[in-house]
Chains A and B, each alone.
Chain A
Amino acid sequence: MKRRVFLKDIAIGSLLLNIHPKVYAQGTGSPDVALIQGESPSLITKEAITTLGGMQRFISKGDKVIIKPNIGWDRTPEQAACTNPEVVKTLVELCFDAGAKEVKVMDNPCNPARRTYVRSGIQKAAKSAGAEVPLPNDHHLKKIPIHGDSLKEWEIYSDFVETDKIINVPIAKTHSLSRLTLGMKNWLGAVGGNRNQLHQNLDLAMIDLAAFFKPVLTVMDGYRILLRNGPQGGRLSDVKLHKTVAAGVDYVALDAVGASFFDIKPEELRFLQIAKEKGHGEIDLEKLIIEKRTI
């Protein structure tokens, strides 16, 4: 190879690499965020994934997939403390349709896992679609380097590491410390250890965890959202029927869209502000390509 050719190649190559991934994405014609409203949780979930280009864009044949819903509390779906079971079920089905070999649905809840798995309806729904729904097994906890700015290492369930693809399916709720608990906060359910201490620096902890897990897809369940007494609510009057599901690759953008469910500007949320500054994603709703539809 001649020196000149080599330099030229490098110049072209680095130019190409410098172009924002959005350029490639635009090539496929899919938006950053699909924001679908409708009566049926499963139909709007399906529509959101289709809008993004179908599940095969994220899941390849033979993949091991783990889906991380929020099953944190011993509450029914109507109380909107846990992810809508139908949304989870639909995602499991779509993963299998895209050729996934194995789909796991798992969370490490705050209340006893057995009860939350049952009352949330997620165990039954996910199992009916063929997923494995294992209880968190403490023998799977491993201290793993996070390389974050606030978390250097933490105990993590190896189920979330020894897998090909991760899908995050949070539910949008209020929270007294981070104001909202959305996708990034959901990762506190994938770790063990003394995780209650993470709250002393919650914003940074969730940013580090989200960057560590890096889901291929985030699906924000906004079918029912919790307006008060989060993150577990209790009364049905704490719940608003919002009938929305948002999906996308940029998990920071998804949290920004989630904030808009509550009429909160993304810039008001400290963890989104920091995540943007770190370059983890976009929070400016104007800059994002959001495909909004009602079905």
Chain B
Amino acid sequence: MTRFPGEDYINRVEIFFHFDPLLALVTFISSRMVHIFFLPAVLTIVVTFVLGRVACGWVCPMGSIQQFFSFLFKKTKLHRPKKLEDNHTVWKYYLLVFILVSSLFTLDLVGIFDPFSFLYRSFVVSVMPALSYSVSSFIGAIYGLNLLSIGDILVQFFENLDINAIFLQGLLIGMIFVAIILFNLSRERFWCRYICPLGAFLGVISRWNVLKLKINTEKCIDCNLCSLQCQMQADPYPNEKWKSPECDYCFTCSAICPTNAISFPGKMAPESIESIDLSRRKVVLISLLGILAIPFFRISPARSRASEKLIRPPGALPEAKFLQKCVKCGECMKVCPTNALQPAMAEAGPEGLWTPMLVMEIGYCEYYCSLCTQVCPTGAIQELTIPQKNNLKIGTAWVNKDRCIPWKFGDPCIVCEEHCPVSPKAIKFITANVEQPDGSIKSAQAPVMDMATCTGCGICENKCPVVDAPAIYVTSVGETRSDRNQVLLDIIQSGEDPY
């Protein structure tokens, strides 16, 4: 799990994503760029090519979770499989076709369905915050019982996990995750069998692998137990019907075979088994759908006109390029030390669902922090040094004089200016003479913005004592990454870097 013990450096926590050939492929296709950091994915491809989908059965964390709950549901007799007559395992191949075709036209949907993205996002946005919430109530109860030292130990332990506890779509993303788990009630490894596009991709390249199931026909008593128990619906019996692209090499069949008739001998001369039973007509149809989907995804104004609320993390590529690369994995949201990065809902259009944006009411962009730029697995957020980061704007702050304490009431408050991290400060003061209800005049120093030095970090909005709708707020306009989302003709960049 991603940790950041207070320093502005983080290990290569995103490396796991780089073993994912599907993320690599779709990112390459949709962004028209090849990245060397996806090199580890080659290893996965080679292993799968030679040994089949062993990674699905033995490495994939999503697979492990599916396996665990399938096991649990079976043990508790909650698992109620219906008769297996279907051939729904092909769904995932159609999904793969859809994702690949749409990525050809720069629509990057892989992040929604890729198992690593799905799992990491679900944990970051939902599972861990829920855990943190329940633990926090539990710890509260411990303190309530006056068990102070136990409480202190627990607090320290959970502080070390660095859980960001507040997320806008925690419930929705969590419900999807729970639903995927509950599907295991009807089919073991439901996700791996029917949905996983990465599994489908690995299935396609594993068709010629050398690890082939072999049933010793002399021993076999045709009991069909292996096919009934196969968690991936790979149909080990009869031998010639076995679907090697479905097999994740769990070896359950050989373990349960009453006569030990099943083995997986390595064969140097791989034989081709036609076992991905796709209908050509459907593949064409799905491809057409993949193409047709694109205009529908692009009807929204997100690409042409930026949403004021869509404040991307520093280092984010220009919006169109960003959307081609972001895989919605949630790494950046995990490392954000102030919990500011949140999954977008509609702010970035349908394509931008669950992409990261800063919500200043929850957190803000810490001045000397560049963690989110360090962890992005696809380069949608470019890695930045601190001086680079502090030289760019992610948005611009605005003072709402109707709500600001000095502007409205003539009372002193300098909280936004005090927190402004740039030097010289982007918030300056002028004197406000405010007429009071009784006609008298009160004077206070009141904040005004200096557009040239404001980076849009949002700490002013976050700390504003007008808590419900802060009297100073950040919008995306002026962000360095965009040519269009600008307000002033000429903004002088501060040359000297304070770092």
* Residues of the B chain whose Cβ atoms lie less than 8 Å from the Cβ of A115: 6-8, 337, 366, 368-369
Interface string of A108-124 (1 = CB under 8 A from B): 00111011011100010
Within 8 A of B (CB), among A78-131: 110-112, 114-115, 117-119, 123
- Judged by a CB distance under 8 angstroms, whether B152 is at the interface is yes
- The one of B5, B367, B412, B419 that contacts A114, using a Cβ cutoff of 8 Å: B5
- Judged by a CB distance under 8 angstroms, whether A37 is at the interface is no
- Let me know if A177 and B367 touch, CB within 8 A: no
- Let me know if B368 and A139 touch, CB within 8 A: no
Interface string of B105-144 (1 = CB under 8 A from A): 0000000000000000000000000000000000110010
Q: Which residue of B lies closest to A181 (CB)?
A: B418
A119 to B369 alpha-carbon distance, docked (Å) = 11
Interface string of A172-198 (1 = CB under 8 A from B): 000111000000000000000010110
* Residues of the B chain whose Cβ atoms lie less than 8 Å from the Cβ of A111: 366-367
- Let me know if A118 and B415 touch, CB within 8 A: no
Given A139-B140, A176-B417, A234 contacting B422 (CB threshold 8 A): yes
Q: Which residue of A lies closest to B154 (CB)?
A: A139
- Let me know if B464 and A196 touch, CB within 8 A: yes
- Judged by a CB distance under 8 angstroms, whether A258 is at the interface is no
* Residues of the A chain whose Cβ atoms lie less than 8 Å from the Cβ of B143: 139
- Let me know if B159 and A175 touch, CB within 8 A: no
Within 8 A of A (CB), among B154-195: 155-156, 159
Given A115-B369, A139-B151, A202 contacting B412 (CB threshold 8 A): yes
* Residues of the B chain whose Cβ atoms lie less than 8 Å from the Cβ of A61: none
* Residues of the B chain whose Cβ atoms lie less than 8 Å from the Cβ of A143: none
- Judged by a CB distance under 8 angstroms, whether B431 is at the interface is no
- Judged by a CB distance under 8 angstroms, whether A74 is at the interface is yes
Number of residues of chain B lying within 8 A (CB) of chain A = 41
Taking chain B's interface residues, is the majority helix, strand, or loop, or is none over half, making it mixed?
A: loop
A231 to B429 alpha-carbon distance, docked (Å) = 15
Given A115-B6, A176-B445, A238 contacting B423 (CB threshold 8 A): yes
* Residues of the A chain whose Cβ atoms lie less than 8 Å from the Cβ of B368: 74-75, 115, 119
- Let me know if B367 and A74 touch, CB within 8 A: yes
Question: Nearest chain B CB to A123's CB is how many angstroms away?
Answer: 8
A122 to B320 alpha-carbon distance, docked (Å) = 44
Question: Nearest chain A CB to B439's CB is how many angstroms away?
Answer: 22
* Residues of the A chain whose Cβ atoms lie less than 8 Å from the Cβ of B367: 74, 111
- Let me know if B7 and A118 touch, CB within 8 A: yes
Question: Nearest chain B CB to A75's CB is how many angstroms away?
Answer: 8
- The one of B337, B423, B465 that contacts A196, using a Cβ cutoff of 8 Å: B465
Interface string of A185-221 (1 = CB under 8 A from B): 0000000001011011110000000000000000000
- Judged by a CB distance under 8 angstroms, whether A248 is at the interface is no
- Let me know if B423 and A137 touch, CB within 8 A: no
Question: Nearest chain B CB to A29's CB is how many angstroms away?
Answer: 42
- Let me know if B6 and A118 touch, CB within 8 A: yes
- Let me know if A235 and B418 touch, CB within 8 A: no
- Judged by a CB distance under 8 angstroms, whether A51 is at the interface is no
- The one of B6, B338, B418 that contacts A177, using a Cβ cutoff of 8 Å: B418
- Let me know if B155 and A139 touch, CB within 8 A: yes
Question: Nearest chain A CB to B458's CB is how many angstroms away?
Answer: 13
* Residues of the A chain whose Cβ atoms lie less than 8 Å from the Cβ of B463: 110, 196
- Let me know if A199 and B413 touch, CB within 8 A: yes
- Judged by a CB distance under 8 angstroms, whether A229 is at the interface is yes
Interface residues in chain A, defined as those with a beta carbon under 8 Å from any beta carbon in chain B: 74-75, 110-112, 114-115, 117-119, 123, 134-135, 137, 139, 175-177, 194, 196-197, 199-202, 228-229, 231-235, 238
- Kindly list the 10 A-B residue pairs having the minimum CB-CB distance in the complex, ordered from nearest: A234-B423, A118-B6, A114-B6, A196-B465, A229-B423, A234-B498, A177-B414, A235-B498, A196-B415, A235-B423
Q: A111-B366, A115-B368, A139-B143 are in contact. List 18 more A-B contacts (CB 8 A).
A: A74-B366, A74-B367, A74-B369, A75-B368, A111-B367, A112-B337, A114-B5, A115-B337, A115-B366, A134-B152, A139-B139, A139-B140, A139-B155, A177-B418, A196-B464, A199-B412, A201-B412, A235-B496
